[in-house]
Amino acid sequence: MGGLAHYIEDEGIPTTQISLIREHTEKIKPPRALWVSFDLGRPLGSPNDAEFQLSVLEHALSLFKAPSGPVLEDFPHDAPDTVDQPVSVACPVSFRPASETQSSTQRLSEQFLSEAGQMRTWYDISLNTRNRTTMGISGMSPQDTADFINRFIDARSRTELMDDPNLSDRLRLACEDIKAYYLEAVRAQPGQPTDSKSLADWFWGETVAARVINAARKICMDADSEKMKILGKLLLVPRNQMHRFNK
Amino acid sequence: MTRLDQYSESERAHLLGLPCPEFDTAPFAAAPELDMLRVAVISTAGLHTKGDRPFDMGASDYRLIPSETPAGDLVMSHISTNFDRTGFQMDLNTVFPLDRLNELAGKGFIGSVAAYHYSFMGATEPEKMEGTARDLAKIMKKDRVSAVLLVPV
């Protein structure tokens, strides 16, 4: 971010920026920066808190009054919905008993489809209430996205997918879409928290979808393609959630 | 919170170990008075309109976001899975504060909001974005942009 500020300012347009990691900004020294203590991914602080967001923006824009730079100031407030301890997200899902003839992957896939199906009502409520979804980067419907990931984790159906040169991109976008689908759905339920940690802990700790993404991660790590290896190593499961799958 | 002392030791070490470009120069362009500013937003959240090309690993280009783009038309294809997306899902302004900027223009805090805004994908090394960023500055001048707000993710 700070690098872009250098280039654009050097072309003659003054810049100001929000800084999320102060230590990085101290090294890069962009012309004007406002450090905020918010979560990565929430540079304006809290969702649906216009007053707080305006305060952040006014501070960042007011740095244009500084006569010289670089300027690095600290925003004096934490985000209002910051929590010290994550809140439990209750979202019970029921599954059919597994058949003894099913493989563990088949059981996982079936439970995933069942769980994703049960999220659908909440997802539709979210979509209708907010008239907005952030799902859609894979270009597939929720059902097709779940089917696609299931086909990837099953050794037999995966062979049909491996010829696609864009498979790693498709898989990454599908996993992002499924996360968006689940998180938008659960947020439509009454009384659910809004902080990032509670929602991430629910998705990665409680859902079958997360176990399916982890199964995909392991397959990517063992793939021949360098791009697939990078996908598995870095881009499917967050570093701070990996402890759940390293047991 | 992004206070590094509250992260696990390994996560803190990872974030501190990320390469940061260092510059020999310190450009500082004079800014007009706040109420005269015409402000464009540049995000590095990997945002784009639905139907536009998703960002891929190593992408150094940007996507154009017209000022009137409805929130429901924007999606995010940043390659990193290590930051929160639920804030964006609940409220676009958590990452891309176009509504707030329009409100600030409405009450005269700034002069106006530019016709176009932009998003890069911030996992790419900034050095690879230099040519594109410099070209983009020339385009923004034609949109009479007199100040840029950079918003990371």
* Phi, psi (rounded to 5 degrees) for A155: -60, -35
Distance from CA of A132 to the nearest CA of B (A): 4
B44/A11 touch (CB, cutoff 8 Å), yes or no:
no
* Chain A residue whose CA is closest to B3: A37
Taking the CB of residue A69, how many other CB atoms lie within 10 A of it?
20
CA distances from A98 to A94, A152, A209, A245, B150 (A): 12, 21, 17, 22, 51
Give ∠ CA A15-A49-A2 in degrees, rounded to 5. 20
Would you call B74 helix, strand, or coil by DSSP? strand
Q: What is the DSSP letter of A37?
A: -
> For residue B153, which residues of chain A lie inside 8 Å, CB to CB?
20, 40-41, 43
HEC secondary structure over A34-85 = EECCCCCCCCCCCCCCHHHHHHHHHHHHHHHHCCCCCEEEECCCCCCCCCCC
Taking the CB of residue A87, how many other CB atoms lie within 10 A of it?
16
Residue-wise pLDDT tens digits, B100-146 = 999 999 999 999 999 999 999 999 999 999 999 999 999 999 999 99
Please tell me the predicted confidence (pLDDT) of residue A84.
Answer: 74
> For residue B101, which residues of chain A lie inside 8 Å, CB to CB?
57
A196/B86 touch (CB, cutoff 8 Å), yes or no:
yes
Does an H or E element contain A27, and which?
helix A22-28
- Give the residue from A114, A203, A103, A188 showing the smallest Cα distance to A153: A103
Task: Give the integer Cα–Cα distance in Å for A31 and A16.
Answer: 7
Q: How many residues does chain B have?
A: 153
| Residue B90 in contact with partner chain A when CB distance is under 8 A | yes
Q: Say which residue the tokens 């690095």 belong to.
A: A72
Please tell me the predicted confidence (pLDDT) of residue B14.
Answer: 87
- Give the residue from A50, A61, A66, A49 showing the smallest Cα distance to A16: A61
> For residue B62, which residues of chain A lie inside 8 Å, CB to CB?
none
| Residue B123 in contact with partner chain A when CB distance is under 8 A | no
Would you call B140 helix, strand, or coil by DSSP? helix
Residuewise pLDDT in 10s, chain A (247 residues): 889 999 999 999 999 999 999 999 999 999 999 999 999 999 999 999 999 999 999 999 999 999 999 999 999 999 997 777 778 887 777 777 667 778 899 999 999 999 999 999 999 999 999 999 999 999 999 999 999 999 999 999 999 999 899 999 999 999 999 999 999 999 999 999 999 999 999 999 999 999 999 999 999 999 999 999 999 999 999 999 999 998 6
Distance from CA of A105 to the nearest CA of B (A): 24
Average pLDDT, chain B: 94
* B109 → closest Cβ in A58, A132, A239: A58
Task: Give the integer Cα–Cα distance in Å for B97 and B80.
Answer: 21
- Do B45 and B95 meet the contact criterion of CB atoms below 8 Å apart? yes
Task: Give the integer Cα–Cα distance in Å for A60 and B150.
Answer: 10
Distance from CA of A180 to the nearest CA of B (A): 7
* Interface probe with A: pick from B2, B37, B139, B145, most Cβ of A within 10 Å: B2
* B87 → closest Cβ in A47, A70, A234: A47
Would you call B119 helix, strand, or coil by DSSP? strand
A12/B137 touch (CB, cutoff 8 Å), yes or no:
yes
* Chain B residue whose CA is closest to A21: B2
B150/A15 touch (CB, cutoff 8 Å), yes or no:
yes
> For residue B41, which residues of chain A lie inside 8 Å, CB to CB?
none
> For residue B117, which residues of chain A lie inside 8 Å, CB to CB?
none
HEC secondary structure over A155-205 = HHHHHHHCCCCCHHHHHHHHHHHHHHHHHHHHHHCCCCCCCHHHHHHHHHH
Beta bridge partners of residue A16, listed in sequence order = B149
